[in-house]
């Protein structure tokens, strides 16, 4: 593609050199430059791509996308100056891959909790409908029998457009994507043409990056107020949880037809009759398209919200009620979300990804009614991430469990003891000294303790890591899977 066509529609401040040159590749990592590439200098959290333009040119870059023109422009290298290289890269990538999102039905799901489960539910509905479906999210990127391990929830714009093109070339018709606040703030999904955007809820998370809950909210809102607004799709939908106060705020600025869903209000799509048991959820949903009877193997009030979101989206996009009902019932579970670990001791052992205050509260509230004896909770908090939530989660854990074990999550480059000290502030502030509390830094030892002290009728909830098969210590990923560890400990207990 010529540079002229590559930057078509991009707001440029200045273009130096010829725009009539062929560009065979785009990259934002100077190590990936090959002859003739366009190198985009992106300002990241840890480094600035502008520092590597000289290296990129030496490696063969023929064009540069920059915010600042180098003091000594390079001979034979075209330079495109823009206000923001992040949004420009998104537009350039869309041009390079010939706008694949215009050719598919695309749904973006954003919010603090529930995104992954909603993608699994919507994927199942579409598959029941006979649609060739793609999913982009926290666990993996999958389509047409392929599964690509997820590097980040929402890929960088260049990688995202490349993935969309691969999906479309594999005849994928519908894609549902988790859209993170980081991705919205860093404009990774700018250039995507969405058919629908879904808002789940908003509670404290990622404040290490956003600084305040207000900034975090503003990032989430961009999916509706900016990205969906620019989509060229006809019949766009904003699917919004109006029980969440932030959802009601988003609804004021959202574009397209607003489809609200609710448990508390009798408007939009809402639950009329609901029975939640350990075996799942049975509910009748009232929708503008008619009554929908749901029999789901998922359980907990938070999953009722996830079902409402998926049903609202699928019906908005034309799915028939019977297809929706069967699609929801086909989902037996979601990796790392309240997954059971079988054992012969009459103990309910559950693995869950809950790693935010609201998610932890939701999961504890969901399992409490079905716990015959004591509820044993094990969790930690990730290092190099929002420290403000640590004491909050400590308080929630102490108040809503009978026995609490605080341990390591992914400490990364932080001292694990320091992280636990901060969690412990909330634990101690919550009081309830009669409840057992253990502080065990090593996660393997902590899981062993939880299972050893559990008795028949108890529930053990191993929270925080869910589907993850690793633990990050320092900058190294080591193999660690909560489910595998629990199963190993159970086998040892059986052999003892």
Do 64 and 106 reside in the same domain of the chain? no
User: What mean pLDDT is predicted for residues 156-169?
Assistant: 98
CATH number at residue 359: 3.90.190.20
pLDDT at 270 over 70: yes
User: What is the C-alpha to C-alpha distance for residues 65 and 85, in angstroms, rounded to an integer?
Assistant: 7
Please give the Cα distance from 265 to 246 (Å, whole number).
15
Average pLDDT over residues 459-470: 97
- Residue finishing a domain among 96, 117, 134: 96
- With a cut of 90, say whether residue 151 has pLDDT above it: no
Tens digit of each residue's pLDDT (9 = 90 or more) over 49-98? 999 999 999 999 999 999 999 988 799 999 999 999 999 999 999 999 99
pLDDT-based confidence at 26, cuts 50/70/90?
very high
Q: Based on the fold, state whether residues 319 and 441 are members of the same structural domain.
A: no
pLDDT of the residue at 206: 72
Could you say which of 96, 123, 138 is where a domain stops? 96
How high is the pLDDT of residue 12?
96
| Token pair in block for residue 38 | 């366009």
The answer on pLDDT for 438 being more than 70 is yes
286, 160: one domain: yes
pLDDT tops 90 at residue 434: no
Write out the two tokens for 169: 């070339």
Query: What are the tens digits of pLDDT across the range 110-140?
Result: 999 999 999 999 999 999 999 999 999 999 9
Residue 284, CA distances (Å) to 193, 295, 325, 346, 377 in order: 33, 9, 10, 33, 32
Residue of 16, 15, 17, 20 whose CA lies nearest to 4: 20
The residue from 96, 125, 140 where one domain ends is 96
- Domain span at residue 381 reads 339-495
Which pLDDT score, from 0 to 100, does residue 73 have? Answer: 79
Spatial separation of the C-alpha atoms in residues 303 and 288, rounded to whole Å: 21
Instruction: Check whether residue 284 and residue 366 sit in a common domain.
Output: no
Do 314 and 348 sit in the same domain of this protein? no
Q: Is residue 449 part of a domain?
A: yes
Report pLDDT for 204: 66
Question: At residue 495, does pLDDT exceed 90?
Answer: no
pLDDT in tens, 410-423: 999 999 999 999 99
Mean pLDDT of the chain: 95
Q: Say if 334 falls within a structural domain.
A: no
The pLDDT of residue 45: 75
- pLDDT exceeds 90 at position 25: yes
pLDDT, tens only, 328-374: 999 999 999 999 999 999 999 999 999 999 999 999 999 999 999 99
Is 89 in the same domain as 108?
no
198 within 8 A of 247, measured Cβ to Cβ? no
Q: Is 15 helix (H, G, I), strand (E, B) or coil?
A: strand
Alpha carbon distance, N-terminus to C-terminus of the chain: 67
pLDDT tier, 211 (very low <50, low <70, confident <90, very high otherwise): confident
Number of domains in the chain: 3
- Please classify residue 252 by burial: count the beta carbons closer than 10 Å to its beta carbon, then call 0-12 exposed, 13-18 middle and 19+ buried: exposed
Q: Tell me the whole-structure pTM to 2 decimals.
A: 0.94
């Amino acid at each position: 593609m010529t540079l002229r066509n590559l930057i078509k529609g991009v707001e440029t401040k200045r273009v130096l050199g010829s725009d009539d040159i062929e560009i065979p590749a785009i990259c934002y990592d100077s190590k990936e430059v090959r002859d003739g590439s366009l190198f985009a200098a992106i300002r990241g959290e840890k480094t600035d791509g502008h520092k590597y333009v000289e290296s990129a040119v030496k490696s063969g870059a023929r064009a540069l996308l920059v915010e600042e023109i180098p003091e000594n422009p390079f001979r034979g290298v075209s330079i495109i100056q823009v206000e923001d290289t992040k949004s420009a890269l998104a537009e350039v990538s869309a041009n390079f891959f010939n706008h694949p999102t215009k050719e598919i039905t695309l749904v973006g799901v954003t919010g603090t909790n529930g995104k992954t489960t909603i993608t699994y539910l919507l994927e199942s509905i579409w598959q029941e409908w006979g649609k060739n479906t793609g999913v982009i999210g926290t666990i993996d990127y999958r389509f047409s029998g392929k599964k690509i391990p997820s590097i980040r929830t929402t890929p960088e714009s260049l990688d995202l457009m490349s993935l969309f093109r691969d999906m479309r070339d594999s005849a994928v018709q519908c894609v549902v994507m988790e859209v993170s606040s980081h991705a919205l703030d860093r404009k990774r999904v700018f250039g995507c043409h969405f058919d629908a955007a879904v808002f789940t809820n908003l509670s404290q998370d990622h404040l290490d990056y956003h600084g305040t809950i207000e900034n975090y909210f503003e990032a989430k809102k961009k999916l509706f107020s900016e990205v969906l607004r620019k989509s060229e799709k006809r019949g766009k939908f904003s699917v919004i949880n109006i029980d969440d106060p932030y959802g009601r705020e988003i609804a004021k600025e959202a574009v397209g037809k607003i489809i609200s869903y609710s448990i508390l209000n009798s408007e939009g799509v809402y639950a009329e009759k609901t029975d939640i048991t350990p075996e799942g959820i049975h509910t009748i949903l009232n929708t503008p398209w008619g009554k929908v009877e749901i029999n789901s193997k998922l359980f907990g009030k938070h999953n009722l919200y996830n079902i409402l979101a998926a049903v609202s989206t699928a019906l908005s996009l034309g799915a028939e009620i019977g297809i929706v009902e069967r699609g929801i019932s086909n989902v037996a579970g979601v990796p790392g979300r309240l997954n059971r670990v079988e054992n012969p001791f009459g103990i309910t052992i559950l693995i869950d990804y809950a790693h935010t205050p609201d998610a932890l509260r939701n999961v504890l509230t969901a399992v409490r009614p079905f716990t015959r004896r004591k509820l044993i909770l094990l969790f930690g908090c990730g290092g190099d991430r929002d420290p403000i939530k640590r004491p909050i989660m400590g308080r929630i854990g102490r108040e809503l469990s009978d026995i609490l074990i605080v341990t390591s999550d992914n400490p990364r480059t932080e001292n694990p003891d320091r992280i636990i000290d901060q969690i412990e502030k909330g634990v101690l502030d919550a009081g309830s000294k009669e409840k057992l509390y253990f502080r065990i830094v090593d996660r393997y030892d902590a899981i062993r303790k939880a299972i050893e002290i559990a008795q028949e009728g108890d529930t053990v909830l191993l929270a925080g890591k869910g589907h993850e098969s690793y633990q990050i210590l320092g900058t190294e990923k080591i193999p660690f899977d909560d489910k595998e560890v629990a199963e190993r400990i159970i086998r040892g207990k059986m052999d003892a």
